[in-house]
Amino acid sequence: QVSDEETVAYIEGIAKDLQKVNGSRVVINVDVQTANGSVCFGALKAPDGRGGSVGRMPGRVNSYEGVRNVVVRVTRRDDPPPRAARAFLLSSHFDSAVSSPGASDDGVPVAVMLEALRGMVEGRIAAPIAPIVFLWNGAEETGLEGSHAFVTQHRFAATVTRFLNLESAGAGGRALLFRASRGVARAIMQ
């Protein structure tokens, strides 16, 4: 078992080592966000067991303290400033459900993102056309606190215009795209 602190240190360490790579076509900025806050999940329709609903269940407030995210922004070394304002967010979470070892949910996407970052820095993957924000967030399994902290409190959040969340929905079966903005869905399906 690995703690959140060890995981944050591991991801941050890799990202900071990649900052030191000479001759890279990209520039990376590494930030570890520690946040406190609360998120309100609105009222939900109460299921009636027959596919309908019997009214509304009250919402709930989830408060969090000390949630940590690792955030890395990648830009082309020659990126003009106006273009730098529109970023693509690539996101995964490093915590896992209490009863799970976390290999598929969400260890594999964390590793995929680390390797994508490494590939961009080392030139094996093309430098991005627009900036890419890599977000490894904590406290997803307990109510999306890390995601909430990033969206509501991090300076890079305002630059994000599109995103892809890498998530596992079980350990088997075929891949499934279940939600995407129009432009992203079109690009992926082509």
User: Known catalytic residues?
Assistant: 140
Query: What is the C-alpha to C-alpha distance for residues 94 and 7, in angstroms, rounded to an integer?
Result: 7
Enter the DSSP assignment of 171: S
Tokens representing 176? 């499934």
Query: What is the C-alpha to C-alpha distance for residues 52 and 72, in angstroms, rounded to an integer?
Result: 43
Burial of 168 (0-12, 13-18, 19+ CB in 10 A): middle
CB atoms within 10 A of CB 130: 17
Tokens representing 34? 């520690």
Enter the DSSP assignment of 110: H
